[in-house]
Amino acid sequence: AQQSIDFNLDGRGLTANVTNKGTVESHPIIEVEVEKPSTFLDVWNGEDYFRIGYPLKANQVPVERNQRVMWDEMTTTIGWSKVSEMEDGQPVGEMKSDNYQLYCSDYGTGKAWHGAAVKKNIPGGLKQDFIMQAYVTCKSTARNQMGRVEIAILDENSNVLSKIAMNDVFWQAEQNVGTMVIGYDGKPGRTTLIHESGDYPTTWNQYFGRLWIARTGNVWEAYISKFLSDSERDDSERFVRWIDEEKYHMAKAAQIQISIMQWQDVPPVEKLTVSDLKFWKVNMNTQGNLPYIADKGDKIVVDTERRAVTIEGKSASNIKDLFSSFPIIQRGKNKLEIMPSNIGKAKVTYRERYR
């Protein structure tokens, strides 16, 4: 049977007492909702520990590596300006908000892709190192519907630096395709990192999930994931990392552009929306100081069964302490402890297994 226990903060720390009545050990999932930025997370069970990040030494000062400069919950189109022209689309339609998400209220008419497109300056000026994340929906109600929801990062000349989209481009089939491209049309070194439908043709159908782009130095990362139903937990996902050796794509990010489009006169996908958009400036490491690995509002998930650890749905295995091991709940009594104890709220979920 599946059990779920909250961690409690008492005089001794942030702890959870777990009694595993099964006959064998259990592989738990530990979820932490971060309320205070931290440079590390530990999960202890007796002498065994799991760690990501780096505890601070006495003389070290934490730095905010990922500094959130924009968080738009799409409650209004105010602050977004209409786009007059763009690549691979005619911005002839109207964008509206229903207080929760942006959607296209009128696609207009046109050949190829046409619909609504809006853009906004990234607060605080041009950004060299950044992360962009959007929550988008692409859910059709009939097989003949087609559509595209796309987020583009533009440089100061309004050219596409990178763009990421969820598309339904099949005439008689429902098959969503995720795409991520670096560079504008015709740019030397233009590169496609993702162009697929996930693990199976139907993996990203009825899509609500996360589109994510990062550039740090000359390293680009693209991430598309579909959330588990009724949650914001990543499920079917694709992550690609690419090093721009020739440094073709080093222009600074200036604007974010959202477009929601219809293909010719084919009925558009019923639900094409953007419901949340965040943008972070990445501060590359200042010498000797440790970065915060998680910020207020982030969710950290440690999943022993899958041997996966994620922060805001993105893998954090690169900062796992090599000597630490994924938490295991032994038979009988276990006392789990999370450090730092003021990091936030936490719970452990596990199955009692019998042999």
> Mean pLDDT, to the nearest integer, of 303-315?
90
Q: What is the pLDDT of residue 208?
A: 95
Q: What is the pLDDT of residue 19?
A: 95
- Identity at 16, one-letter amino acid code: A
Q: What is the pLDDT of residue 1?
A: 82
Rounded distance, CA 181 to CA 322, Å? 33
Rounded distance, CA 210 to CA 193, Å? 16
Question: Residue 298 in 3-state DSSP?
Answer: coil
Q: What is the pLDDT of residue 287?
A: 58
Q: What is the pLDDT of residue 131?
A: 95
How would you classify residue 319: left for phi > 0, otherwise alpha for psi between -120 and 50, otherwise beta? alpha
Rounded distance, CA 92 to CA 211, Å? 24
Q: Where are the domains of the chain?
A: 2-65+286-351, 67-282
Q: What is the pLDDT of residue 197?
A: 92
Beta-carbon contacts of 327 under 8 Å, excluding residues fewer than 6 positions away, are: 28, 30, 43, 45, 48, 50, 302, 304, 336
User: Which residues are 153's β-sheet partners?
Assistant: 162, 256
Rounded distance, CA 42 to CA 58, Å? 18
Which CATH class for the 2-65+286-351 domain? mainly beta
Q: Give the phi and the psi of residue 318 in degrees, each rounded to 5.
A: -70, -20
Q: Does position 230 have pLDDT exceeding 80, yes or no?
A: no
343 secondary structure, DSSP code: S
Rounded distance, CA 322 to CA 304, Å? 15
Order of strands, edge to edge, in the sheet holding 299-303? 2-6, 344-351, 29-34, 299-303, 308-311, 314-315
| pTM (two decimals) | 0.76
> Mean pLDDT, to the nearest integer, of 333-341?
96
Per-residue pLDDT tens digits for 193-227: 999 998 888 899 999 999 999 999 999 999 999 98
Order of strands, edge to edge, in the sheet holding 8-10? 8-10, 13-20, 332-339, 40-45, 48-53
**Nearest by Cα to 302 from 12, 49, 21:** 49
Q: What is the pLDDT of residue 59?
A: 76
Neighbours of 79 (CB within 10 A): 9
Average pLDDT, the chain: 93
292 secondary structure, DSSP code: P
> Mean pLDDT, to the nearest integer, of 147-159?
97
Q: What is the pLDDT of residue 139?
A: 96
Quick check: 273 and 260 in contact, CB under 8 A? Answer: yes
Per-residue pLDDT tens digits for 19-43: 999 999 999 999 999 999 999 999 9
Which CATH class for the 67-282 domain? mainly beta
Q: Are the folds of 2-65+286-351 and 67-282 the same?
A: yes
Q: What is the pLDDT of residue 65?
A: 76
Rounded distance, CA 114 to CA 259, Å? 9
Question: Residue 318 in 3-state DSSP?
Answer: helix
Q: What is the pLDDT of residue 291?
A: 82
Per-residue pLDDT tens digits for 267-293: 999 999 999 999 999 887 655 678 889
Rounded distance, CA 209 to CA 302, Å? 20
What sign does the CA torsion over 240, 309, 256, 75 have?
positive
The mean-pLDDT minimum among 22-31, 134-143, 310-319 falls in: 310-319
319 secondary structure, DSSP code: G
